[in-house]
Amino acid sequence: MGLKIIHLACLVLCAVCFATVALAQQPESQQPDSQPQQKAPPLKKANARPNTDTAAREPFDGATVERMSKQCVALDTESGEIVVEMLAEVAPESVRNFLNLAATGAFDTTTFNRVVKGFIIQGGNLATREKLTPELLRRAARTVPDEPNAVKHVRGVLSMARTDQPNSGASHFFILAGDAPHLDGTFAAFGRVARGMETVDAINIGELEGDQPKKPVRMRRAIVATCPVQAK
């Protein structure tokens, strides 16, 4: 009987030793950790909605001054065509903005919604489009830095419209129907009419209510193309 008890005790002792050795040989990753494990980030859904916080890249983003200087924009209006050439060397960001708006179709179906006789015709208000999308609303709010320069505001010059706040130019532009030296060095002149001043004059003499045309002239579309003649 005593031998059986001793034998049983030996078996129990061996079992305890075996369990201790086995536990000690477990891989480290399986043992409890005193620090909480960080959860793995959730997998990205294959059909997740794209991030729209950043602005979409446009045709003239990153374009050189040399390339932009070679571009002309034809404004096909209900009163005729106006072709403007770019002065990218003096106002590169204003030119880039204008070219992008024209090339992406943002100007299409907008109107010349402000006219002052003998002074200006003003367009580029995206809110006057026949169809306004949320993307265009966001684009209309994008501004460019002020670029006042040495170009004189004379008849035929294309310039950025803005509020009294600095760097508030966005999509609005104006074409001078007459000289306006009081604008020199204050507004960003960035282009000039190469052809179509008769169309500018036709829009400028339309019937008005204050500075609002009774029947605003609509721009059918704006077309960007390489100029046949370079700006001088």
- Summarised one tens digit per residue, pLDDT across range 135-156 is 999 999 999 999 999 999 999 9
- Confidence (pTM): 0.76
List CB contacts of 80: < 8 A, sequence separation 6 or more.
196, 198, 199, 202
Q: What is the pLDDT of residues 68-89, one digit of tens each?
A: 999 999 999 999 999 999 999 9
For tokens 């020199």, the residue is 184
CB crowding 60-97: b at 16 or more within 10 Å, else e: beebeeeebbbbbbbbbbebeebbbbbbbebbbbbbbb
Q: Cα–Cα–Cα angle for 13, 23, 15, nearest 5°?
A: 20
Residue 133 to residue 168: CA distance in whole angstroms: 22
Q: What is the pLDDT of residues 181-213, one digit of tens each?
A: 999 999 999 999 999 999 999 999 999 999 999
Give 56's pLDDT tier (boundaries 50, 70, 90): confident
Domains defined along the chain, listed by start: 65-226 (2.40.100.10)
